[in-house]
Every structure is written in structure tokens, then in C-alpha cells.
Structure 1
Amino acid sequence: MIVCLAVVGHQNNPLYIQSFTEADDALKLHHMVHCSVDVIDERVDNPKKSGPTINETFLGLLCPTENYKVYGYLTNTKVKFILVTTDLDVRDADMRTFFRRFHAAYVDAVSNPFHVPGKKITSKTFAERVATIVKSFGLTTTG
């Protein structure tokens, strides 16, 4: 189950973060997202260590913990998508599909002429579309 989804700008500023769990876990999930930004930056800055995946937008598993797995995706404009899930046996193909659909929703949201680039995404349409994408992956949302 997806418990948190975030969009982080190219200057590591949060553009969108949504928790799909109880409020008690929200702070812990925000911390995990923040820590995973460092992992993404390390992979981008050190391409020899990260291998051939740096040429790809899907960064794969960033940092597994006991209860969560954190996946990352990097757009061509250096915007980072971070997904935190409690499902410990997720296939990379499913994550790629999810991120492609999420990326399409993000592009639609920032293509809005009223959206200011680099500012938080506050579109209700975007939030609804994200909730639909999360639900379509067989996951429930409570937030």
C-alpha cells in the first residue's frame, strides 16, 4: 500500500507531498522523503557508483527500511518523485508504470497557465488524479 507520495523540485524544495495514512505517521514519512532526496542526489552526483540506471528516469529502490520501501524517479528537469510503500514485495515494472502515470499527471498540472513554476502544486484536480492513480494500483487512500 502506498503511504506517501512526494514531488521535490530541482532545488530540493517540496512541491507536493501527500500522506495516505494516519496523521501520526505523517511526520515520519516526511522525514523518510527528506532522507531519500539525499540518496537521489548521491546517485546523480556519483554515476559510477549507481551504475547504468542513471540514464533512466526510474531510480528504483532508494532506501528500504524494516516497514517501508522508498522508490524514486527523476524527471529530465531534475524534479524528483518519491513514493513510500508498505508493500515489501513490489515489482519494478509496477513501479515504473505507476511513476509514468504520475509523471503524466504532474506534467498536466504544471502545464496549467495559472501554475507558477517552482511553487507548490495546489491543484485540486491534480490531487484527485493522484488519488485515482493510487487507487488504480489496488491501494486504498484515507487522506
Structure 2
Amino acid sequence: MALCAAIFDKKDILVFIKIKEKGINSETSTEISRFLYNSFDIILDKINYPGAKATQDLYIGSLLINSSFRSFGYLTNTNTKFLLVTDVENNLLKDHEIRLFF
């Protein structure tokens, strides 16, 4: 299940964030926000240092996984970045289903 969705503009400014409210306490909300910004750092690294596997695919895929959360990223052709944070226990969402979401 998606816990958080965020959009960063081309200047890397957060323009939208929505964290699931039902069943989430303030401590977990803070953990999700921290995880989101860690994932955003990874997306910036993948954009700025693409390495040998530079590709035209805008779907970046799985960015970061820990014991509680998993994040996915998408980059538009205008450099807008979409991030989605899900709970790691949800095995229903597969990578190709997340790709369809973006």
C-alpha cells in the first residue's frame, strides 16, 4: 500500500507531499518523511551520475529499501521527480505495477 507520494520540481523543490493519515502516528510520519528525502538523494545521484548504464527510460524504479519502507522513482522529461513510498510488507505491489502507476 502506498504510504506517501511526493513531487519535486526541476529545481528540486518539494511541491507536493501526501502522507497517508489513517493508521499512521506522528513518529511513523517523521520516519516516512526522512525515508522520502533519503530516496530523493538517491534519485539525484542517479540523475547526476548515470554511470555506464545511462538510459532513456524515465522510470527509475526501486530506489531504496529498508526494514519498513520501499521507494520508487520516476523522472519526467521536464525534470520533475515523482516519488512513491510503500510499506515493505505489502507483497502485492510488483515493480511492473508500480511502473504502470507512473
Report which of the two has the higher share of helix: 1
Residues 31-86 of structure 1: CA deviation (Å, up to 9, x unaligned) = 1111111101111111115x25x411110000111111100001111111000001
Opposite residue 14 of structure 2, the aligned amino acid is: P
Report which of the two has the higher share of strand: 2
What secondary structure sits across from 1:72 in the alignment? strand
- Structure 1 or 2, whichever has the larger Rg, is 1
1:31 aligns with 2:34: yes
Opposite residue 5 of structure 2, the aligned amino acid is: L
Opposite residue 38 of structure 2, the aligned amino acid is: C
Task: Specify every segment of 5 or more residues in structure 1 that has no aligned partner in the other structure, as ranges.
Answer: 100-143
Give the counterpart of 2:98 among 92, 95, 98: 95
* Fraction of identical pairs, as percent: 26
RMSD: 1.6
Give the aligned partner of residue 64 of structure 2: 63
Q: Tell me by how many angstroms 1:87 deviates.
A: 4.2
- In the TM superposition, what are the counterparts of 1:1-143 in structure 2 within 5 Å? 1-21=1-21, 22-24=24-26, 25-48=28-51, 51-52=53-54, 54-88=55-89, 89=91, 90-99=93-102
What secondary structure sits across from 1:63 in the alignment? strand
TM-score (normalised: structure 2): 0.85
What secondary structure sits across from 2:65 in the alignment? coil
Task: Specify every segment of 5 or more residues in structure 2 that has no aligned partner in the other structure, as ranges.
Answer: none
TM-score (normalised: structure 1): 0.62
Any runs of at least 4 consecutive aligned residues in structure 1 with deviations exceeding 2 A, and if so which? 87-90
Structure 1 distance, partners of 2:25, 2:80, is 26
CA contact (8 A) 1:2 1:87 kept: no
Which stretch shifts more, 54-63 or 86-95? 86-95
